Amino acid sequence: MAKAKATRESKTLEKIEQLAFKALGSVRAGKNPAVEIPVRSLSNVHFNSEKGIIELGDRMAEREFFNTNMAKKFMQTFLVANACRTLVQEGKTISIRQLFYKTKHTMKGSSENTFETQQDSDPIIEDVEVAMEALREELHLFANRRGLIVGQLTVNDAGDQIDLRRMGRGGWGIPSICEDDSLKFVRCDAEYILVVEKQAIWHRLNEDRFWEKHKCILMTTEGQAARGARRMLQRMSGELKIPIYVLVDSDPWGLYIYSVLKRGSINLAYEGMRMAVPSVRYLGMSASDFQKFDLSSAVQIKLNKEDIARAKQIRGYEWFQEKRWQNEIDTLLANGFKMELDGLLTKETSFISDEYVPKKLRDKDWLV
């Protein structure tokens, strides 16, 4: 394990140094130093139907030093890269917020700051990641963790063995960094993984000990999945080799949360191979559940203009063109209302645990 980690870190250092040596070579040759950054925009993103994920294209943009429009970002790119190099050499990891402060200072002889806000430094971190084809975690950076797991799984997290059956009501917090040299799956007795969008619904299922009664792993992303949660889910998919079902609200935003888990995101298209999980299945809520489960009108929330526009945008995505998906989105729009998982409590408090999810699974009522 230690050898694998050392090899990966030496490769990361080599990538950072190559970035610097290339710029230095241009200076010594009397040329304008520049760094090439892959374009991270919708125009340079495509859907790889064979792999089932969103990928970044080949278009590149040059960031030059002797260009008044690019000079500051050129400097910021190397400032962040150098800070990451120091972290890798020291074997220390910090948050992206802490990196902002570590690299922020007023340039000598001026009143100009290297960075004004974290909104300035975060895109530069992504530039460095994609330019060197290195994960943020390989640069010894992490974002705030988000997501909880409980159920039929035992893990080894940085040397500590943790039985996720014994996490009480709180659950095990998904680490920001989920690479295999620090996290191992020791034992899995689960038959499937149930991923829940909302923490409140996860708490309902956990309190009802759904994972124990139905022999599964219960996970919440707490909204749009953070990088650590997506990487964790992909690793579980590849290593545990059990089905994964996703439970989100019946609205365009729930559909997008599922889409990001399954296909990857446009913003992080350069990391699709490490984060997307094409095998996940959409369990619900579905727009047709209103009739299937005889729900009351109390669950209905009228679609607003933003909801409608977003639903139509998602309907146009290449990976949602299959007939069943088109029908799902058309039904949502025809209904004129969206529904939240929380609305299932209008039936009874544990309806989602006792009736809704078991029936959906039993009837194989899911979309892929």
Residues 310 and 353 in one domain: yes
Q: What confidence category does residue 81 fall into, taking pLDDT thresholds of 50, 70 and 90?
A: very high
Token look-up 């064979």 returns 50
Number of compact structural domains in the chain: 2
Is 367 inside a domain boundary? no
Query: What is residue 265's predicted lDDT score, i.e. its pLDDT?
Result: 86
Is 311 inside a domain boundary? yes
Q: Catalytic: which of 101, 270, 317, 356?
A: 101
Write the CATH number for 230: 3.40.1360.10
Q: What digits encode the pLDDT tens for the residues 224-279? A: 999 899 999 999 999 999 999 999 999 999 999 999 999 998 777 877 888 899 99
Residues 193 and 123 in one domain: no
Q: What confidence category does residue 66 fall into, taking pLDDT thresholds of 50, 70 and 90?
A: very high
Residues 204 and 332 in one domain: yes
Cα separation of 276 and 261, whole Å? 6
Q: What confidence category does residue 5 fall into, taking pLDDT thresholds of 50, 70 and 90?
A: low
Q: What digits encode the pLDDT tens for the residues 294-318? A: 999 999 999 999 999 999 999 999 9
Q: What confidence category does residue 72 fall into, taking pLDDT thresholds of 50, 70 and 90?
A: very high
Residue where one domain finishes, among candidates 121, 142, 163: 142
Q: Is the peptide bond before 285 cis (omega within 30 degrees of 0)?
A: yes
Q: What digits encode the pLDDT tens for the residues 85-134? A: 999 999 899 999 999 999 999 988 888 999 999 999 999 999 998 888 88
Structure tokens at 99: 């990196």
Is 155 inside a domain boundary? yes
Structure tokens at 254: 């729930």
Residue where one domain finishes, among candidates 102, 122, 142: 142
Residues 191 and 102 in one domain: no
Residues 25 and 136 in one domain: yes
Contact assessment for residue 71 and residue 83, using Cβ atoms and an 8 Å cutoff: no
Residues 225 and 324 in one domain: yes
Residue where one domain finishes, among candidates 85, 108, 142: 142
Query: What is residue 247's predicted lDDT score, i.e. its pLDDT?
Result: 98
Residues 7 and 124 in one domain: yes
Is pLDDT above 70 for 2?
no
Write the CATH number for 69: 1.10.10.10
The percentage of the chain sitting over the pLDDT mark of 90, rounded to a whole number, equals 79
Mean pLDDT of 186-191: 98
Query: What is residue 201's predicted lDDT score, i.e. its pLDDT?
Result: 98
Query: What is residue 338's predicted lDDT score, i.e. its pLDDT?
Result: 98
Structure tokens at 275: 């984060």
Is 185 inside a domain boundary? yes
Is 285 inside a domain boundary? yes
Residues 154 and 274 in one domain: yes
Cα separation of 122 and 198, whole Å? 26
Residues 159 and 60 in one domain: no
Q: Is 101 a catalytic residue?
A: yes
Those residues whose C-beta lies under 8 Å from the C-beta of residue 103, and which sit 6 or more positions away, are 76, 79, 80, 83, 114, 115, 121
Those residues whose C-beta lies under 8 Å from the C-beta of residue 11, and which sit 6 or more positions away, are none
Query: What is residue 164's predicted lDDT score, i.e. its pLDDT?
Result: 98
Structure tokens at 296: 């009351």
Residues 218 and 351 in one domain: yes
Residues 136 and 154 in one domain: no
Residues 111 and 211 in one domain: no
Domain region containing 337 = 148-362
Is 368 inside a domain boundary? no
Q: What confidence category does residue 6 fall into, taking pLDDT thresholds of 50, 70 and 90?
A: low
Query: What is residue 134's predicted lDDT score, i.e. its pLDDT?
Result: 82
Going edge to edge, which strands form the sheet with 183-188? Answer: 160-163, 153-157, 183-188
Is 321 inside a domain boundary? yes
Is 116 inside a domain boundary? yes
Q: What digits encode the pLDDT tens for the residues 323-364? A: 999 999 999 999 999 999 999 999 999 999 999 999 999 999
Contact assessment for residue 159 and residue 37, using Cβ atoms and an 8 Å cutoff: no
